[in-house]
Amino acid sequence: MSEKMTRIRLPGQRAWSGLQDWGEHSAAEIIALARHYAAHLRNQAELIDAATDDEFQVDLVRGVHRQHLLKSIQVSIRQQEK
């Protein structure tokens, strides 16, 4: 048996775009959740845009949910400063 989900998207977005959450939500609840999620994504995008290339930590890992570090491809200069 599949779980009930509430999905929100804007017209023109692909079906897999947008956001969904477990259970049944009112329109106001899911719109507020979508706006909160968008604010988080906006913040992440601003951090990425403001960073220099050498500030990124780049690792090779095995696994999706539980990740095991295989090797560091690039060590962040922030990590080197510690």
pLDDT digits (tens, 9 = 90+) for 6-62: 999 888 877 667 889 999 999 999 999 999 999 999 999 999 999 999 999 999 999
> What is the CA 67 to chain-centroid distance, rounded?
17
Strand boundaries in 9-66, DSSP class E: 19-22, 58-62
Read off the amino acid at residue 75: V
pLDDT at residue 1 greater than cutoff 70 = no
Closest among 57, 58, 61, 59 to 81, alpha carbons compared: 57
